[in-house]
Structure 1
Amino acid sequence: MNDDEIRDALRPDDGIEPLDPAKVITGARRRRRTRELTTGSLAAVAVLAVVAGGIIATDGANSGVSVDPPVVGTPSSTPSARTSTPRATSTPAMSAAQLLANCKVALAEANPKPGVNATQQALLESPQGSVMVIADSKYWAACDNGYISEGEAQVSARRPAGLAVPSPQDKDAFAVAQNRLTRPSGNYDDLEYYWAAGRLPTGVKTVRYTFPDGKTVDATVQGKYWLMHYWSLQQTPGGSEEGATPGAPEKIRVRLVAADGTVVNDFRLREPEQICAQITHGC
């Protein structure tokens, strides 16, 4: 077969246009771009799942599976009854300036309270939320944004108090706000979130909390104030049929420790007066 015969054999039938190389390349680029957009859209959905489901950790391999919440604050060296390694969850970001402004709004109906010129005195930040202490020349108060509703962080406030330094014997000064949070699945009483803040008593260096799950957390001390927050999958008595972890205290224990290690006071908080449903009625 000569060259002319080969060309005739390869020539397309009438009505069928030969492929245009330029169109082939353009089509390939269009298909590749479509795949890139699809991949990018899936990635955006994954990120939105993390933000909207702030109390559920999601990732590409294990999306929507609940995990142990992390210890926040400063864990002490005291052995814990739990041996699992918690993984972080996250809440929508809120800057310190936003938290300060929102804290003042949350305190609007409180009386007395820090005035409009109150400033930030201490701040404890984590991916799970932030606790802030604000004060003016007469009063201080504390706010937290670890509670999430419909994918957005909500600010809750502790009852304001005067600037007098509390006694180590004043148990009310170490009351804890207890929030029961739910996963997006709608299950009730899934998580316990605790937070607290206050002025540091004279002679006390460490404010130490031990929770019903057996975990011990030291509050973070900044200047004249201390701050603490903690997540737990173990509900306090009455919140779960399982009850407390075997061998762990059934109520929150507080120990005030001096610089030399001496325990200045060791007590357990009373329910419901000193362990309150923060979101329901405030502390």
Structure 2
Amino acid sequence: MNEFSNIDLDEKKLADQTLVYILNNQNTILESSFFIRILDRRIKYGDLNNHVEFLKERLSHVEFNVDYDTVEYKNSMSGYQVLALDELGRTFDNSRILSPLLYEMENFSKEVFWASEEEEKIYQSLSHFVSFEDRLVEEKKLYHVLITSPFFNVKGWLSYYQSLLDVKFPDFSEKIISGKNIIKYKPFKDKYFLGIATDYQSCKNNFRKGWWEEPEYKLVIFEKLEKKKINQVVTFERFIHPHFDPPALNFAAFFGSKTMIDVSENETVIDNGTKKEFLEDGMVRLYNSEKFGDELKRHAYFYYDMLYRTTKGYIKFIEESF
């Protein structure tokens, strides 16, 4: 029998702890996380201590579902919407106008974050890999191949993600490979360990399609059976704080902010930065700039830092709950 199967995760306790966390971290770089889902980007709230009841209501919509050895959560908090009228008087969703406000808030947080010489130093030590691979194709196959551009350096990116996890979650200091899963872990209770697990398979698949996304991590409680064999007793389907999902712009949204250009209210063009060099032998070289790669690397670094800042309280909540 799974001795953790009857665990009760107290949503109100998590909400109360999250409220304290928000109040203690307002006016810091973390505030941009609060505006992704919890706060309205159009409003200047001032001192959040004056909005406690509002925050309590916003934080009251998380519900955990524990199914024997699997934990999932649902956050039914309503999103912010902007409705407008078109030229025919019809109502449509114009919430896209909120996106620039979110980018502005996150960019300000990043300016403060990157002012840290220590973070810049660590970043430089991890980010020296080449972001993209060049691709040589026959000119007649050019546009068929371009569908999957840009061409990410898959091995380099996956190694970078694992390094960011190592740097930002140092308490999870041990590592085990079990099947396809890479698990960073630390002692939990008695014979059990708490680990952050992923196989990076979703990232591999999407990189090959020219898509950029953050890895899918799970939080797991397990016991060791052999050197590379474990018994996974509890799995949290997503390793992320339920109230800060995502903790910063997710990778697809950030990538879109850099590659999608509004040329009018009704037209958007996509430019992922892939350049073409036509060679004399009927071949075409496809390539992307490392300047664009650096923007992606920096966002990933910032995202992992925000993931650490927002989940450390959640990890403590889980440890106390079990």
Interval of TM-score (by shorter of Structure 1 and Structure 2): under 0.3
**Greater RCO, CA 8 A, separation 6+:** 2
- Relative to its length, the structure with more strand (as a share) is 1
The structure that has the greater radius of gyration is 1
Give the structure-1-normalised TM-score. Answer: 0.24
